[in-house]
């Protein structure tokens, strides 16, 4: 995720954080997932000695890709617009936003639960199946690229989750409390 290295994510505005998150969504959905899918398909045809491992990896990766796509859609349909509204109201004294599900804490709790499943189940399972992304000596270039792509995906998702859980969500909840309750 691109960010001015002289500025900490903790110092970023809500809008900068949201832009970062949306950029992360696009990187994962438009770049990483399609390349990993292609590399799995190619490795399945070339690295026949690893067919069982690659088939298992493909199954978990397909589940991950489906889950992350719907997860990102929920974030972009509900959380992102609402957080932009509360930020706008806070900075410009605009119209008070409608509160989804009583407050941000409800949808954020669901998103954080999904983050936990993604990190502690799907990503860990892929890492285990793929032997910590260490390609065997006889691996094809497709399998080596696959492992590099999975490692990049894991790194991107970990950073994405950190920024949301540890920075964006607490900042958004605090802004919501200020906007709606003057706290």
- Please check the confidence at residue 70 and state whether its pLDDT lies above 90: yes
pLDDT tens-digit readout, 96-149: 766 655 788 888 999 999 999 999 999 999 999 999 999 999 999 999 999 999
In 3D space, the residue among 64, 40, 72 whose CA is nearest the CA of residue 140 turns out to be: 40
**pLDDT at residue 95 in the model:** 67
Tokens found for residue 57: 């990896």
In 3D space, the residue among 172, 163, 157, 160 whose CA is nearest the CA of residue 32 turns out to be: 157
- Please check the confidence at residue 37 and state whether its pLDDT lies above 70: yes
pLDDT tens-digit readout, 153-165: 999 999 999 999 9
CA 11 from centre of chain: 21
Tell me the whole-structure pTM to 2 decimals. 0.90
* Range 6-18 average pLDDT: 87
Question: Do 90 and 180 meet the contact criterion of CB atoms below 8 Å apart?
Answer: no
**pLDDT at residue 157 in the model:** 96
Distance CA 100, CA 81 (A): 11
Burial profile 11-49: b = 16 or more Cβ within 10 angstroms, e = fewer: ebebeebbbbbeebbebbeeebbebbbebbebbbeebee
Using N-to-C axis directions, what is the helix angle for 80-92 and 169-181, rounded to 10°?
50
């Amino acid at each position: 995720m691109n960010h001015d290295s002289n500025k900490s994510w903790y110092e970023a505005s809500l809008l900068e954080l949201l832009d970062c998150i949306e950029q992360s969504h696009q990187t994962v959905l438009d770049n990483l997932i399609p390349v990993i899918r292609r590399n799995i398909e190619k490795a399945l045809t070339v690295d026949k000695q690893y067919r069982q491992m690659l088939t298992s990896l493909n199954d978990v990766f397909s589940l991950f890709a489906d889950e992350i796509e719907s997860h990102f859609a929920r974030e972009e349909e509900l959380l992102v617009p609402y957080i932009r509204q509360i930020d706008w109201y806070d900075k410009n004294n605009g119209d008070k936003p409608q509160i989804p599900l009583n407050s941000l804490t409800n949808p954020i709790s669901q998103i954080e639960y999904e983050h936990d499943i993604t990190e502690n189940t799907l990503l860990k399972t892929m890492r285990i199946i793929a032997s910590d992304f260490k390609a065997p000596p006889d691996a094809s270039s497709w399998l080596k690229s696959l492992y590099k792509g999975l490692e990049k995906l894991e790194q991107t998702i970990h950073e994405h989750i950190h920024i949301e859980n540890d920075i964006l969500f607490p900042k958004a909840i605090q802004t919501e409390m200020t906007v709606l309750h003057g706290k």
